[in-house]
Amino acid sequence: MSQATGLDVVTGAFSFTGRFIARRLMAQERRIKTLTNHPRRPGTEDITAEVAPLQFTDREALVESLRGADVLYNTYWVRFQRGRFHFGQAVANSRILFGAARDAGVRKVVHISVSNPAEDSHLDYYAGKAWAERALRETGISWAIVRPTLVFGQGDILINNIAWLLRRLPIFGIPGKGDYRLQPVAGEDVAEIATWAAEQADSVTVDAAGPDIVYYSEMVESIAIAVSRHPRFIYMSPRNAVRAARLIGRWVNDVTLNEPELTGLMEELLVSRERPRGTRRLDNWLLSNADIIGRKYASELERHWR
């Protein structure tokens, strides 16, 4: 375990993936500082961290906020383009952050990316993630890249909101035949892989994927079993599924599953081609959290855009 300074910086330690990394570091008795604009989120009261803003305009302040850190665990990204904000800006912001980490003398950046990024992807999210990875490799700092599939655990959005809908609706729409696969990974496993990556002498790129590959329809059924709901499943064309998701979005005042996200799902980009490093099973987590999941809608817009 690295002992260089005892201090690590995590972006978004009170957000979703970052909270698992923060807890893992706390268990390793590391001191944590987080860069975030949401310092107190319900469900993260156990996380102790010094807080500085996550911002990209005052470079000097950003460098200062990273000084003294051994590792920067970076979870910063945006889920979708909205208004005037596009993925190119998220790449530019990531580049600023990586450069600031180098100038602050941070030993290593562990960057959370996504499974199957590609610079030439027709999906801007996956292309942007690949460009952010490139920005990191070109920064001239020791790095590790961790590429999760679909992350599950307390605070997740997709699985929680599927459960939320299952609890409320007598019918549930499955895009296409639901026969595309995904490989969910536990937040705790992502954190273990990230802290392992921080210890590697070489720069490494690894997937973070769980032990089970499941069909989307199977995953929805598992969630329905966990929350004891048995709605009628209807199979919809992807186009109609996106329309339905938009309608639901209007109902809950949020952006729910959007078209590029559905395309990525149907193209099985949330399946790893590597031996799985994660060990925790989604089914077990669903059953042990059956009372909690889907009780409250989790809004992406509420979390990051309002």
CB count in 10 Å sphere of residue 7 = 18
**E-strand spans in 127-194?**
142-148, 151-152, 171-175, 181-182, 185-186
Does 77 bind ligand NAP (CB under 6 A)? Our answer is yes
Which of 36, 161, 289, 299: binder of ligand NAP (CB under 6 A)?
Answer: 36
Shortest spacing between CB 45 and ligand NAP, in angstroms: 16
Which of 8, 49, 76, 182: binder of ligand NAP (CB under 6 A)?
Answer: 76
Does 51 bind ligand NAP (CB under 6 A)? Our answer is no
Does 150 bind ligand NAP (CB under 6 A)? Our answer is yes
Which of 7, 8, 9, 17: binder of ligand NAP (CB under 6 A)?
Answer: 17
Nearest CA-CA partner of 109 in 89, 87, 128, 132: 132
CA distances from 81 to 89, 204, 236, 246 (A): 10, 29, 25, 15
CB count in 10 Å sphere of residue 68 = 16
Neighbouring residues of 231: CB distance < 8 A, sequence distance ≥ 6 = 166, 169, 170, 171, 172, 224
Contact yes or no for 214/222 (Cβ under 8 A): yes
Contact yes or no for 122/162 (Cβ under 8 A): no
Shortest spacing between CB 300 and ligand NAP, in angstroms: 8
Residue that is written with structure tokens 């952010």 in the block: 132
Does 32 bind ligand NAP (CB under 6 A)? Our answer is no
Nearest CA-CA partner of 33 in 16, 12, 8, 54: 8
Nearer to ligand NAP, 243 or 258 (CB): 258
User: In the stretch 242-281, what mask flags binding to ligand NAP with x, by CB under 6 A?
Assistant: ----------------------------------------
Which of 7, 8, 9, 15: binder of ligand NAP (CB under 6 A)?
Answer: 15
- The residue range among 36-44, 228-236, 237-245, 275-283 that interacts with ligand NAP, by the rule CB under 6 A, is 36-44
Does 112 bind ligand NAP (CB under 6 A)? Our answer is yes
**For residue 52, what is the enclosing H or E element?**
strand 50-52
Does 126 bind ligand NAP (CB under 6 A)? Our answer is no
Nearer to ligand NAP, 15 or 256 (CB): 15
Does 285 bind ligand NAP (CB under 6 A)? Our answer is no
CA dist 199 and 177 (Å) reads 42
- The residue range among 13-21, 137-145, 194-202, 213-221 that interacts with ligand NAP, by the rule CB under 6 A, is 13-21
Start-to-end CA distance of the chain, whole Å, equals: 39
Q: How many residues bind ligand NAP (CB under 6 A)?
A: 22
Does 164 bind ligand NAP (CB under 6 A)? Our answer is no
Which of 66, 114, 136, 198: binder of ligand NAP (CB under 6 A)?
Answer: 114
Site residues for ligand NAP per CB under 6 A: 11-12, 15-18, 36-38, 54, 75-78, 112, 114, 148, 150-151, 303-305
